[in-house]
Amino acid sequence: MVGFYTVLLFIFTGAFLVSFTVALSRFFAPTKQYPEKLIPYECGDLPQGDAWIQFNNRFYIVALIFLIFDVEVMFLFPWAVVFNDMGLLAFVEMFIFIVVLLVGYAYVWVKGDLDWIKPKPRLEHLAKGKGE
């Protein structure tokens, strides 16, 4: 368990170094703040509305798919470690496991949830677009 203790020390040291350096920069850096400087950057114009916007649900679906696969990968790692010792039995068992997941993968694929929204220019809009 010494290794994990070292890892913990790494994390603390890293966090300390970041805070230390940022604090250090306070001694050197100027602070002249005025309202215009604190406006979020929106390409030179005043920001319109809040930036905490409702976001595309595609990201949510990707996150769900990722979760399933990541859990699967977590199961695969211990299996891979003992694979050499167990041979055929391990292979067949994991084969069944993977196939079950691949069926789900195929389902998601066919359902189209792996497709990001492709840019589809609406040509009919282009053609009539005169007045608009």
Where in 69-98 is the site for other proteins (CB under 8 A)?
Answer: 69-70, 73, 76-77, 80-85, 87-88, 91, 94-95, 98
- Minimum distance between the CB of residue 107 and other proteins, rounded to whole angstroms? 13
2 binds other proteins (CB under 8 A): yes
Question: Per-residue string for binding with other proteins, 12-41, x by CB under 8 A?
Answer: -xxx-xxx-xx-xxx-xxxxxx-x-xxxxx
What is the DSSP annotation of 30-71? -----GGGGSPPSTTS---S-S-----THHHHHHHHHHHHHH
Helix/strand/coil for 89: helix
For 69, residues 6+ apart whose C-beta sits below 8 A from its C-beta are: 101
Assigned token pair, 85: 């010792």
- Minimum distance between the CB of residue 85 and other proteins, rounded to whole angstroms? 7
- Minimum distance between the CB of residue 61 and other proteins, rounded to whole angstroms? 9
